[in-house]
Chains A and B, each alone.
Chain A
Amino acid sequence: MARTIVIDPVTRIEGHAKITLQLDDDGHLVDSRFHVVEYRGFETFCEGRPFTEMAGITARICGICPVSHLLAAAKTGDKLLAVAIPPAAVKLRRLLNLAQITQSHALSFFHLSSPDFLLGWESDPARRNIFGLMAADPELARAGIRLRQFGQQILELLGGRKIHAAWAVPGGVRSPLRAEARDWILARLPEAQATIRLALELHKRLLDGPLQQEQRLFGSFPSLFMGLVTPEGLWEHLDGQLRFRASDGTIVADGLREDDYASFLAEAVEPWSYLKFPYYRPLGYPDGMYRVGPLARLNVCDRIGSPWADRELTEFRQRSGQVAISSFAYHHARLVEIVACLEAIATLVEDPELMSARVRSHASLNRNEAVGVSEAPRGTLFHHYRVDDDGLLTKVNLIIATGQNNLAMNRTVHQIARAYIPDPVPAGVEIPEALLNRLEAGIRCFDPCLSCSTHAAGQMPLAISLVAADGRVLAERCRG
């Protein structure tokens, strides 16, 4: 009898999801699925509203990456106004995004993933969390929190509130940076740099030692990678143009404009998940699987363009390949990106133009359709709006990073399951903690964010079920 192993929901990612491992009649693993079981559908919710409200609304969609939506919405609004925003506003938005990437990557690395690395996959699940990390390495835990706080504080210094500051608006930003805020950033930068140096040293030691197997087994497969690069091919996070690179290093497409995304991206739908499956249109579905986010950004760029980050990129490529194909390398990529962000922040805050009071261009509606793009911590984010002549939205399409990694996350889950469960799976098998941990950890490589779902208290237990093809639960395991 065909059986299904279900893990529902997955913890330590945002929102609700579950993993199903499908066995055939002989007990062989034939398919693995990462389901997103809650409908998002914010596009419909936004239609009919003024486009000028989109920055504020979409920043409220998500508690983890509000800045990404804020910036994509503001950039789309710039295009609807058909304005060039003031140079200081460009730089202030870049500063905001760099701080956002720093704080988000810090949360992912120090608090979600480090417990696995440092405490071990087989360790007591009750301890394999931030508290266990604090017991094992309190300095690292504190430093991680301080690094996250550094990024969050910059968001507050710019936007006035830590979360959901609708500060970036069509035409620029609402307010300039104050001198004391710039000075605070400068004063705290050395500590942030010291923290990331510590984390890099630690992570490289682990990669060279106990984590070698994970590098091989956690989502290591060829795919395309997509991300923004500058016109010169350097690492980019907010402006620039899109590039696709294949695992063999070939640049498949370059100089792509976000306005034309429908010509190179398409979205498939599967009945078992609310999350769409974007793919690279010329290769079709599912062959057009591509990955976005920190790993993809490091893979698509020629170099980063700042000295320390470029040294780290070189070392990253020596360890993981000129094009890193293991999803486990997302963790290392996040650290390299934090270095890049800190260097870019240091350069920006020394730029006198950043302090200019001219930060917003004013115009009325001049176009009826626009696409904006930003690099969220988790990958490329597209906002596509159509508006009527009164500026009311008639169509909204949001292509989020987690969706674009959907195919790769499913592939990663399948690869891990094949490696860690017996083949064939014997009847009555217990689902080992080690398998569960690794499946979750495989998903966590992508740091997916589904927090556009609800929060309400008490919704996040973890249940694992072994379910027969006819729906009977053969075995079940819960925690949380």
Chain B
Amino acid sequence: MADPRTPQELRLAPGAAPPARSLLIGIGNPLRSDDGVGWQLAEELGGLAVHQLTPELAAELAMVERVLFVDAWQVPPGLLEPGRTQPWLRAVVPGAGGPGSSHQLEPAELLALTAALYGAQPVAQELLLPARDFAHGTKLSPGLRRQLPRARRLLRQWLVPSDA
């Protein structure tokens, strides 16, 4: 009879190979232009690409020390905020939120769920890329493409320290 644990659980078992210490999760819809940037970057860098955060991802987070969520940030119409024209990193702390959406958890909610279910608290950050074009399409807008070098630099900096 096979071991009923999931492959993720088996990776945590005594004697198993050490688990990855970092997890990159790209969020978005790859068929909605700029919305797919998190997905694209996660696939480039061997991360996990998802449409939205769902509860069972808590099991993945419970096995890592650090997690980075990569997502498009929809620039509010008319907002002229000079500091928000480039990708930026921000810390994410666990938070249960409001009545919320379980189909579509926010990073803070997923972290809170991870802590509640598994007693694990990975250090979490979010890389947000300002985006404006959410029409159907598989290509990023020129404005977002210009942000990619900085985004990749930030991602590499984030990945290197723990996995080197």
Listed in ascending order, the chain A residues whose CB lies under 8 Å from chain B are 11-14, 41-42, 44-45, 57, 60-64, 107, 111-112, 125-126, 128-131, 134, 138, 141-142, 145, 148-149, 152-153, 156, 163, 180, 183-184, 186-188, 191, 449, 451-460, 462, 479-480
When distances are taken between beta carbons in the complex, the residues of chain B under 8 Å from A148 are 54-56
Structural contact, B100 and A11, CB atoms closer than 8 A = yes
Ranked 5 nearest A-B pairs via Cβ: A63-B51, A183-B2, A111-B102, A456-B74, A187-B4
Q: How many A-B contacts at CB < 8 Å in the complex?
A: 159
Docked complex Cα distance between A45 and B138 (Å)? 10
Docked complex Cα distance between A293 and B59 (Å)? 29
Given the known A-B contacts A131-B116, A187-B3, A455-B35, are A152 and B136 also in contact in the complex, defined by CB atoms under 8 Å? no
Q: Which of A130, A142, A184, A453 contacts B102 (CB 8 A)?
A: A130
Structural contact, B56 and A152, CB atoms closer than 8 A = yes
Structural contact, A12 and B99, CB atoms closer than 8 A = yes
Structural contact, A183 and B96, CB atoms closer than 8 A = no
Q: Which of B50, B56, B100, B131 contacts A149 (CB 8 A)?
A: B56
Structural contact, A149 and B2, CB atoms closer than 8 A = no
Docked complex Cα distance between A110 and B88 (Å)? 35
Structural contact, B72 and A456, CB atoms closer than 8 A = yes
Structural contact, A460 and B4, CB atoms closer than 8 A = no
Q: How far is the CB of A129 from chain B (nearest CB, A)?
A: 5
Task: Find the A residue at minimum CB distance from B3.
Answer: A187
Docked complex Cα distance between A448 and B58 (Å)? 24
Docked complex Cα distance between A12 and B104 (Å)? 8
Structural contact, B2 and A187, CB atoms closer than 8 A = yes
- How many B residues are at the interface, by size bracket? 35 or more
B112 within 8 A of A: yes
Docked complex Cα distance between A60 and B104 (Å)? 16
When distances are taken between beta carbons in the complex, the residues of chain B under 8 Å from A12 are 99-103
Structural contact, A11 and B101, CB atoms closer than 8 A = yes
Structural contact, B50 and A63, CB atoms closer than 8 A = yes
Task: Find the A residue at minimum CB distance from B31.
Answer: A60
Structural contact, A64 and B28, CB atoms closer than 8 A = no
Structural contact, B131 and A153, CB atoms closer than 8 A = no
Q: Which of A451, A462, A480 contacts B51 (CB 8 A)?
A: A451
When distances are taken between beta carbons in the complex, the residues of chain B under 8 Å from A480 are 97-100
When distances are taken between beta carbons in the complex, the residues of chain A under 8 Å from B20 are none
For the A-B complex with A112-B102, A184-B3, A455-B52 known, give 6 more contacts whose Cβ atoms are closer than 8 Å: A63-B29, A129-B102, A130-B102, A131-B112, A131-B113, A186-B1
Structural contact, A460 and B96, CB atoms closer than 8 A = no
Q: How far is the CB of A28 from chain B (nearest CB, A)?
A: 29
Docked complex Cα distance between A457 and B69 (Å)? 11
Q: Can you give 26 A-B contacts (C-beta < 8 A)?
A: A12-B99, A12-B100, A13-B103, A14-B52, A45-B137, A61-B31, A62-B51, A107-B55, A111-B55, A112-B102, A112-B103, A129-B98, A134-B113, A145-B56, A145-B59, A149-B56, A153-B6, A163-B49, A186-B1, A187-B2, A449-B103, A451-B52, A451-B104, A454-B72, A454-B134, A457-B128
Q: How far is the CB of B34 from chain A (nearest CB, A)?
A: 8
When distances are taken between beta carbons in the complex, the residues of chain B under 8 Å from A455 are 27-29, 32, 35, 51-52, 71-72, 104
Q: Which of B98, B106, B109 has the largest number of chain A CB atoms within 10 A?
A: B98
Structural contact, A45 and B73, CB atoms closer than 8 A = no
Q: Which of A57, A153, A163, A183 contacts B31 (CB 8 A)?
A: A57
Q: How far is the CB of A436 from chain B (nearest CB, A)?
A: 10
B154 within 8 A of A: no
Q: How far is the CB of A312 from chain B (nearest CB, A)?
A: 24
Q: How far is the CB of B151 from chain A (nearest CB, A)?
A: 15
Structural contact, B4 and A457, CB atoms closer than 8 A = no
B117 within 8 A of A: yes
Docked complex Cα distance between A435 and B64 (Å)? 42
Structural contact, B98 and A126, CB atoms closer than 8 A = yes
Q: Which of B73, B103, B136 contacts A458 (CB 8 A)?
A: B73
Q: How far is the CB of B32 from chain A (nearest CB, A)?
A: 5
When distances are taken between beta carbons in the complex, the residues of chain B under 8 Å from A163 are 49-51
